[in-house]
Amino acid sequence: MSNNNITCECGHVNPYGTEICEVCGKPLQGDLESKKLLNMRYEGSARRSQTYKTTIIDKIWNFFSSVKVGIWIIVLLLVASAIGTIFPQEMYIPPLSDPTVYYKEQYGVLGQLYYDLGFHNLYGSWWYMLLIAALGLSLIVASLDRFVPLYRSLKKQRVIRHESFMKRQKYFGKTEISHDSPDLSGIKQALENKRYNVKEENGHLFAEKNRFSRWGPYVNHIGLILFLIGGMLRFFPGMYVDEVLWLREGETEKIKGTEEAYYLKSDGFILETYDNEDEKFKDAIEESGQAVVAKNYQTDAVLYKQVGERVAGTDPELEKVKEHPIQVNKPLKFEGYAIYQVDYKLNELQKMSFTMDNKESGESIGDLTIDLYNPEKEYNLENGYSVEVMDYFPDFEFNDKGEPTTKSKVPNNPAFILNMISPEHPDGEVAFVAIKQNLEPLGENDYKMSFQNVDTKNVSGLVVRKDNTLWILAIGGAIFMIGVIQGMYWNHRRIWIRKGNDEMWLSCHTNKNWYGLKRELESITKETGLNMPLDQSEEKK
C-alpha cells in the first residue's frame, strides 16, 4: 500500500488513510471549504478499520473495532444478565428439588417458560459465554485499532500548525496586535500557571497538559482483558479447587483437594446466638420474628501436614501446622488454600445404645452401643447372648416398592435389622429397630431391643477452596481502576497560539470536558488581554 501514501505540501509523507497531516496539521482529505470543523478524533491519523475494507479479515476486524458494535454487546449482556434475576438460577433453588417441576410449581406458567427457554442456567449458557467472548474480542480489536493512530498522533506534538488546522478547531479566536498587545512570554507564563507544558518555536506556542489521560481507556481495557483471561483460566485443571468437607468434633479428616498432604481436626464447633434480652437488639430481634439470631459460627480447627511417605494400611504421620478458629469471614488459609465455615449440623447422631431385654420377665440381658458411622458386625453380650447386625440403614426410608433403603450415608434416621441370638434361639430372632419403631417382621419374638440413649456431636460444614486465578483477577481489576480514573479524572487539553504579523491566533482542543477548558481559557485571556476564542460549533445554530 506504500504507493498510496499521501504527501502533504509541507513535504511530509503520511500513511494511507491519514486525514490530517501528521507534521503541519493541514487537512488532507475532503473539501476544505465545506468542512467547517475538523474531526480531531485520533488527529485524523489512519485507523485500520477506516482504511482497509475489502478482505474477510478486514470485515471481521472492522466489525469488532466499531464502538457501536461494542455498545450493542454491552447492552445485550446487560439485558441478558437482568433477565437471569427474574427467577432464581438453578444453583439457588433448594438442593433436592427437580428443576423440571420446580419452576412451574413455584412460579406458575412464567416459571415454566423461564425454564423452557433455558434462563434457569443463563450465566453458564453457551450464548452468554459467546457474548462475553465477543466483548473480549471487541475490547482487544477496538483498542488496537485506536491505540496505534493515537500513539502516532501524540508521540510528537508539533508546535506549529497549519492555518486551516487552527481555523477549524471548535474554539478559535483572533487578537489584533498593537503596541499594548500581550507578549508571548506573558502568555507563556499564564499558561504555565495553569500547569500547562508550553513549547515555543518561531513565535508560536503550544501548550499541553494531562496527555497521559488519553491512555486511560486503553489501560482500563487491558485491565478488563486480563480480568476476562483470569476468569477463563478457572476452567483449566489445577487452577481451581472446590471441595466440601464435613468434619465432626474430635475427628481428623484428610483435606480433599490437597493431594492428601493436609489433614484437619475439629476441636469443636460453636454456635453462639445473640441475647434476646439485650437492650440494644431486643426490639429488632422481636420484630424479625426469629427465635434466635446467630452471632457466630466457629470451628476450632487444627491443621496438620503429613510427614514423609504414607505406607498403605498405616495411619499417616502428622505434624501440627497451626490452630485457627474458622469463622464466617475468617477462613483458615495455608499455601493458597482457604477453608471456610459455611454450614453446620448440631447434635448429629453418633452412637445409639440399646439393651436386650427378655420380654416376659422384663429382665435385661446386657447392653450394647452401636457406632453409627462404623457399626460392628456382632456384639457379644456373653452367656450365649449376642446381637448380630444384619443390615444397617443410616438414613432410613421405604422406597417405592416398600423395601427399606437409605437416602444417604449420614445417620439422620438410623435403622437396623438385628438378629438377637440367645441360648433358646441359637439361630436368632430378627427385629427391625429404628427411632421410635420396633418391628418383628418374622413373627413374635421372645427378646426385644430397648432403646437407651444416643450420643451426639456437632458437625462443621466446611468448604476447601484454592483459586490460582485470583491474583490475575486482582491485577486486572487494579489496572482497570487505574485506567478508568486516569481517563475520567483528568482531561487532555491543548492550546495552540500562532503569532503572525498583525494578528495573534488561538485555538484549542480537548476530547472531553469543554466546559472546564472554556473556564480555563476565560481566566487566561482575561489575564493576558487576548480575545476569548469563540465556539465555532455554536455559530452554526
Return the number of the residue (91 or 307) whose C-beta is nearest other proteins.
91
Give least dist CB 476 to other proteins, A: 10
Give least dist CB 256 to other proteins, A: 15
Return the number of the residue (92 or 126) whose C-beta is nearest other proteins.
92
Give least dist CB 67 to other proteins, A: 4
Return the number of the residue (42 or 206) whose C-beta is nearest other proteins.
42
Give contact residues for other proteins (rule: CB under 8 A): 67-68, 70-71, 74-75, 77-78, 81-82, 84-86, 88-89, 91-92, 105-111, 123, 274, 278, 280-281, 283-285, 287-288, 293-297, 327-331, 338, 340, 342, 463, 465, 470, 473, 477, 480-481, 484-485, 488-489, 511-515
CA distance 322 to 335: 12
Contacts of 385 (CB under 8 A, 6+ apart): 356, 365, 366, 420, 421, 422, 423
Return the number of the residue (256 or 448) whose C-beta is nearest other proteins.
256
Give least dist CB 487 to other proteins, A: 9
Give least dist CB 328 to other proteins, A: 4
The helix/strand/coil state of 528 is helix
| The residue to which cell 453380650 is assigned | 381
Give least dist CB 44 to other proteins, A: 16
User: Is the distance from CB of 20 to CB of 165 less than 8 angstroms?
Assistant: yes
Q: How far is CA 358 from CA 57, 422, 521, in A?
A: 90, 10, 107
> C-alpha grid cell for residue 46?
489512519
Q: How far is CA 346 from CA 254, 378, 387, in A?
A: 22, 29, 30
Contacts of 261 (CB under 8 A, 6+ apart): 305, 306
Give least dist CB 466 to other proteins, A: 11
User: Is the distance from CB of 392 to CB of 410 less than 8 angstroms?
Assistant: no
Among candidate residues 504, 471, 472, 538, the one with its CA nearest the CA of residue 181: 504
Among candidate residues 494, 490, 511, the one with its CA nearest the CA of residue 40: 511
Return the number of the residue (32 or 83) whose C-beta is nearest other proteins.
83
Return the number of the residue (182 or 461) whose C-beta is nearest other proteins.
461
Return the number of the residue (32 or 86) whose C-beta is nearest other proteins.
86
Which H or E element spans position 407? none
